[in-house]
């Protein structure tokens, strides 16, 4: 019979615990190594070019075959290719300049005005950094500039022109440096900034104050709605229980022997509305539409400058037959229209940077009807459209205006002849150049 000493079991448990600790540390080290390898592989995939991977594979194959078969020539070729890879990697060491800042001196310009992006690179360190290529995305193109070697405290300041031939919002950036070895085995891209947005506003023109359609008093426009308290006097009537005694007209009461009180017309603030037609079939070409956007923007900007109450409306998506429409951001009434912000001139013009024609836009009559139902207190409406919009459609749109509202249609045909005519109670002006709008507004104001 064999007896085990009492110390055997604790020794085995200690060995098992030590083995578990070793295995655990080994697994942790393996995971850490795998993580490092994965990061290196990810970095390598972003740095090594297709040619570089070809050289790496060729070097490994040459060394394996050379040592395996004893071919000294293949060994020399393999180590030569490996040396090229090492030198290419050393060429990309470091980040380059200490910082590269991207800014837009002016972030809002009109079509055709000069705009530029500014690149400022600084090297606050002691090392002298090698040259690199700067790449700056501007819209759908990439602008390249060479960044020269920067000594300690050196600054590189470069201006890049941004094209403003067309209205819109242009994304500028991010700026990045591109460093590559002379052979093209390695390429390293580093981003230094975010994206800056340049708003290219439609071109506008200064027009005369929009006084037409407004009653020239400081308190508003009187309506046919009668009230017992306002400032637009209408008539006298007999006192009725509940009337405010402050409005008793004592002189008339003394003459008639009956208490007479003043009766007033309710007054409302006058409101202007600009409707921009976005239907594709309303315009002959893109130049006509750009002229329409500029004309509508000029009217809206003038009204904001004059501190007029204004609503700026564009066409919304037409409702599909048998389907409930999804209202676009800023739309009212579910279909037919979309209202742009008019809190300031810049906010309106920023929104107009993004408007485009839409083949599925609601008809002009539907847009005017939806706007009339949604916006109250309107006394003057400018409808801006193209010459492809038929007269019958204009008459139909005019019929959707509330009674007593003055309507003016501006039809745009780039480089066309300016004209003026009346279609019923509707004033219709044709413009071929934005400058024609100034004469049109002056003429409208003179007959008001």
Dump pLDDT digits (tens) for 247-256. Answer: 788 888 888 8
Q: Residue 126: pLDDT band by 50, 70, 90 thresholds?
A: confident
pLDDT at residue 324, as a whole number? 40
Average pLDDT for residues 147-169, to the nearest whole number?
90
Mean pLDDT of 377-393: 91
Average pLDDT over residues 6-30: 63
CA-based nearest residue to 273, from 118, 407, 177: 407
Domains and CATH numbers, the chain: 11-91 (no CATH), 99-201 (2.60.40.10), 221-268 (no CATH), 271-447 (3.40.50)
At residue 231, the pLDDT reads 44
pLDDT attached to residue 291: 96
Alpha carbon distance 255, 270 (integer Å): 38
The pLDDT > 90 percentage for the chain reads: 37
Pick 156 or 16 by higher pLDDT. 156
- Higher model confidence: residue 433 or residue 190? 433
pLDDT at residue 311 in the model? 94
**What pLDDT is attached to residue 15?**
63
Which of 62-76, 131-145, 220-234 is predicted with the least confidence, judged by mean pLDDT?
A: 220-234
Confidence of residue 228 (pLDDT cuts 50, 70, 90): very low
pLDDT score of 211 = 57
Confidence of residue 222 (pLDDT cuts 50, 70, 90): very low
What is the share, in percent, of the chain residues with pLDDT greater than 70? 75
Q: Give pLDDT, residue 333.
A: 42
User: How far is it, in rounded angstroms, from Cα 291 to Cα 371?
Assistant: 23
Q: Pick the residue with more confidence: 376 or 157? A: 157
pLDDT digits (tens, 9 = 90+) for 101-122: 999 999 999 999 999 999 998 8
For residues 383 and 441, the model is more confident at: 383
Q: Is the pLDDT of residue 351 over 80?
A: yes
CA distances from 413 to 66, 198, 335, 433, 437 (A): 77, 28, 28, 8, 12
pLDDT score of 441 more than 50: yes
pLDDT of 44 higher than 60: no
How would residue 74 be classed by pLDDT, with cut points 50, 70 and 90? confident
Tens-digit pLDDT profile for residues 395-413: 999 889 888 888 899 999 9
pLDDT at residue 29 tops 90: no
Q: What is the pLDDT of residues 284-343, one digit of tens each?
A: 999 999 999 999 999 999 999 988 889 999 998 876 544 444 444 444 444 578 999 999
How confident is the prediction for the chain on average, in pLDDT? 80
Q: How many CA within 13 A on the CB side of residue 371?
A: 36
pLDDT band for position 20 (cuts 50, 70, 90)? low
For the cut 70, the answer to whether the pLDDT of residue 196 exceeds it is yes
């Amino acid at each position: 019979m064999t007896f085990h000493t009492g110390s055997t079991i604790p020794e085995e448990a200690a060995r098992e615990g030590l083995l578990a600790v070793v295995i655990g540390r080994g697994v942790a080290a393996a995971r850490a190594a795998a993580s490092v390898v994965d990061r290196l592989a990810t970095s390598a995939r972003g740095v090594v070019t297709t040619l570089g991977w070809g050289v790496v594979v060729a070097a490994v194959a040459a060394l394996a075959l050379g040592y395996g078969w004893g071919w000294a020539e293949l060994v020399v070729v393999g180590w030569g290719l490996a040396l090229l890879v090492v030198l290419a990697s050393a060429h990309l060491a470091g980040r380059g300049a200490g910082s590269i800042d991207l800014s837009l001196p002016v972030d809002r310009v009109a079509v055709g005005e000069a705009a530029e992006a500014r690149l400022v690179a600084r090297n606050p360190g002691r090392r002298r950094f090698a040259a690199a290529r700067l790449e700056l995305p501007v819209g759908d193109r990439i602008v390249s500039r060479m960044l020269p070697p920067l000594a300690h405290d050196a600054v590189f300041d470069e201006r890049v022109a941004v094209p403003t031939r067309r209205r819109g919002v242009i994304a500028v950036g991010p700026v990045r440096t591109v460093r590559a070895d002379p052979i093209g085995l390695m390429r390293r891209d580093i981003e230094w900034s975010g994206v800056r947005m340049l708003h290219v506003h439609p071109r506008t023109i200064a027009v005369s104050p929009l006084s037409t359609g407004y009653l020239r008093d400081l308190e508003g426009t009187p309506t046919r709605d009668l009230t017992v308290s306002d400032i637009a006097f209408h008539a006298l009537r007999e006192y009725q229980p509940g009337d405010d005694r402050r409005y008793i007209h004592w002189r008339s009461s003394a003459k008639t022997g009956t208490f007479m009180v003043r009766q007033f017309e309710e007054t409302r603030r006058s409101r202007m509305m600009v409707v921009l037609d976005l239907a594709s079939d309303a315009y002959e070409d893109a130049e006509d539409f750009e002229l329409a956007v500029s004309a509508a923007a000029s009217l809206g900007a003038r009204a904001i400058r004059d501190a007029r109450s204004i609503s700026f409306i564009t066409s919304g998506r037409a409702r599909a037959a048998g389907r409930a429409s999804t209202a676009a951001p800023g739309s009212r009434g579910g279909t037919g229209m979309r209202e742009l912000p008019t809190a300031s001139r810049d906010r309106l013009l920023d929104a107009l940077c993004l408007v485009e024609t839409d083949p599925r836009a609601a008809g002009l009559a539907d847009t005017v009807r939806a706007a009339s139902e949604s916006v109250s207190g309107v006394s003057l409406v400018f409808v801006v459209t193209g010459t492809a919009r038929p007269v019958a459609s204009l008459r139909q749109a005019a019929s959707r205006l509330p009674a007593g509202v003055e309507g003016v249609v501006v039809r745009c045909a780039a480089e066309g002849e300016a004209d003026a005519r009346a279609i019923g109670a509707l004033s219709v002006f044709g413009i071929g150049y934005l400058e024609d709008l100034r004469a049109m507004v002056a003429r409208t104001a003179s007959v008001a």
